Chains A and B, each alone.
Chain A
């Protein structure tokens, strides 16, 4: 089917289908990604155990670092770019994020409200006090 995959219908590439870069450039890309990923991991471990920062900010910092970590993986290892050759991949990612957000967010919301019509006894007692 090789004659079809290269048809000029659109210009997006599948993940793993690399654009032509020299080997050196590609190695540099992976090394930068690796260093950034390690750096972010080390920072997470450091922040979790430190008392240098305001304690309640630690969970927020960990979330920020985790999202940055995902970003690094997407850019340097999965090669998601904003270029026109990547439209499908970006759309797929956006669709995936939307669904994950809907399902996880919806589940948290639903499960938090399940006992509204008939709360367990201890919750009713709390409401009274």
Chain B
């Protein structure tokens, strides 16, 4: 009846996951009770859960990523503490638990923090920057988000029901095969990634289509803001690469569930094929993450330097070059697997070549800042911090791209330090910069600058104190994923790294404090202009938060930096009385519970597949399919906002702006 599921699945003998799980459960129940008692449930359901508004979905993506960042961060703290005390002792985490923690940390941080964070920001901003009213497929967008949330939910359920994978974040066979991992851990891993992978693919298709097909008048490809370009490149990579991940995990699951032999050592299987395929996805994946971050930095650097982006066209070219070359370097993740010198050399050279367009970008940002009037607001701090940190990470990356050097550094702490250096210094700093930069646009008030700067400085220094020692430990020969060790020379560095982790955590606390303080002072921090940073692209042309239809009129774009042109233009013909614009009815897509209901059934199906509860698998599958059919048979999917309502909403915005312009005129 319940497959492999029984009471032994709940780890009563392990206090840490049980207490953590109980605390989370209490917190969730508390929030739910508060929501129901206060009567917020209808609001949540109508305005958020069923929303197909790209801005709302973007916010929910970022919220999911932030919550999961705390989860992945707690895993990181536990690992650093374990390695600091596990010198000639077992530490406080038993090996099987420690292995689950580093597997969950990697899986969560890549799939459920970095991915939703960048997809969320792209969802929030790209339609606004393109000057359009929505994404290409609004309901599909909601489905994509909720499927990602399903994956995150399943990973967290594994904390209390059963166990998580102990095989590292990529679950290499034969360790992840049925022989060495008979438990449900790898199944939790694989099914949550399969389900959230569909969500990611859907989001990718949606955003590619949006950038290619929905642009406002005059928004040529070469007038798009840089963030739109990196979104296009990143989502092209999603569409091209995620099917590889899905196929690879499907083969692993066939091995585990139906006795296939794709990745076994006997019966003609080849374990190396898994490594090859997973990295053919895995390498483009890191560019999927970092390209949007590059886009965010381009926007931030040009806004806060008060200059147009230096070398816009070279930036576009570099982005698209990275998009293609990222598919030619994947072997550098397994130089040591046995390939001969010619294979290794070609992939090593390709890996060094991909650093060239990245270098072009760094110089472009530097030249954008050069001669500009730089304002060091929080987003700009993150951007400058990124440039310094990312260059170090990039240089160590070029170092490990040299095959002979890689043979010494492979799977060492040096590698761990390298990829944290680029992913934290690149993606996470980018996500934070984007968060600070676009928060006023999403919510209508700015974030507190003082706490923001504190958060930056603690995170920045914490990062260096944590990860620079890991480089040294790696060069002293320490391998990654050690539960305990007996080498005295590594110990001081592990101590320093643990202290760094504490500093990093203070940074995270500051970030939370910033949010709390800003929400409390929101009236003082209110952004009435829609343009708090003196921005250059179209998202600042509408009010903050934007109305549901984004723009009352489709903006007319005449060049790069569309909104900057508009502002210069407006200042020149200062206070000229414009005739009252003629508003028209606007059609917007209706909210739909399709995404939420689909994800509900997908959760049931995923859970049932993990525990081999076959009747429930069928139930979940049928439910999800029925939801799709009901949605496909819908009659009306749009509603009309009458012209009078549009005029009322836009009038408020125009009034604010006129008063702003007249103030600027009187000075």
Contact = CB atoms under 8 A, between A and B. Distances in A.
Interface of A: 1-5, 7, 9, 14, 88, 95-96, 98-99, 102-103, 106-107, 109-111, 113-118
Contact of B213 (A14, A99, A103): A14
B273 A106 contact: no
B410 interface: no
B272 A114 contact: yes
A110 B196 CA distance: 29
B340 A111 contact: no
Given A9-B217, A115-B338, A117-B340, A95 B236 contact: yes
8 contacts: A9-B217, A14-B209, A102-B327, A107-B273, A111-B273, A113-B338, A116-B338, A116-B343
A111 B272 contact: yes
A111 B270 contact: yes
Contact of B133 (A4, A88, A110): A4
B611 to A, nearest CB: 34
B327 A2 contact: no
B217 A103 contact: no
B61 interface: no
Contact of A111 (B138, B220, B276): B276
Contact of B219 (A9, A14, A98, A106): A9
A113 B212 contact: no
Contact of B280 (A9, A14, A106, A117): A106
B133 A1 contact: yes
Interface in B328-375: 328, 330-331, 337-343
A118 B337 CA distance: 10
A88 B136 CA distance: 15
A5 to B, nearest CB: 7
B342 A113 contact: yes
B240 A99 contact: yes
A102 B244 CA distance: 13
B240 A96 contact: yes
A106 B617 CA distance: 37
B645 interface: no
Given A2-B587, A111-B273, A7 B338 contact: no
B570 interface: no
B404 to A, nearest CB: 13
Contact of B338 (A4, A98, A114): A114
Contact of B327 (A3, A9, A99, A115): A99
B277 interface: yes
A110 B339 contact: yes
Contacts of B216: 7, 9
A77 to B, nearest CB: 21
B468 interface: no
B280 A4 contact: no
A114 B587 contact: no
B276 A110 contact: yes
Contacts of A117: 338-340
B214 interface: yes
A60 B34 CA distance: 70
Contact of B340 (A1, A98, A116): A116
**What does DSSP make chain A's interface, helix, strand, loop or mixed?**
helix
Contacts of B220: 9
A96 B216 CA distance: 27
Given A116-B338, A116-B339, A107 B240 contact: no
A63 to B, nearest CB: 23
B31 interface: no
Given A96-B240, A111-B272, A118-B338, A5 B214 contact: yes
Nearest to B244: A103
B330 A106 contact: yes
A4 B211 CA distance: 12
B477 to A, nearest CB: 22
A96 B272 CA distance: 25
A70 to B, nearest CB: 18
A14 to B, nearest CB: 7
B340 A113 contact: yes
B560 interface: no
B327 A110 contact: no
A3 B331 contact: no
Q: Which of A2, A106, A116 counts the most chain B CB atoms within 10 A? A: A106
Given A4-B214, A5-B214, A106 B328 contact: yes
B589 interface: yes
A102 to B, nearest CB: 5
Contacts of B330: 106
A89 to B, nearest CB: 10
B215 interface: yes
A100 to B, nearest CB: 9
A3 B272 CA distance: 51
A107 B277 contact: yes
A99 B240 CA distance: 7
Contacts of B215: 7, 9
B589 A1 contact: yes
Closest 5 CB pairs of A and B: A116-B340, A99-B240, A114-B338, A113-B343, A113-B339
B327 A103 contact: yes
A95 B324 CA distance: 9
Contacts of A3: 587
Contact of B331 (A14, A110, A115): A110
A88 B212 contact: yes
A62 B212 CA distance: 37
Given A107-B276, A111-B270, A116-B339, 18 more contacts: A1-B136, A1-B214, A1-B587, A1-B638, A2-B587, A3-B587, A4-B214, A9-B220, A88-B212, A96-B240, A102-B327, A103-B327, A107-B273, A111-B273, A113-B338, A113-B342, A113-B343, A114-B339
Contacts of A7: 215-217, 554
Interface string B555-595: 00000000000000000000000000000000101000000
Contacts of B236: 95
Contacts of B217: 7, 9
Nearest to A88: B212
Contacts of B277: 107
Interface string B134-168: 10101000000000000000000000000000000
Contacts of B93: none
Nearest to B337: A114
A116 to B, nearest CB: 3
B328 A5 contact: no
B465 interface: no
A127 B260 CA distance: 33
Interface in B392-416: none
Given A5-B213, A99-B327, A103-B280, A110 B244 contact: no
A1 B134 contact: yes
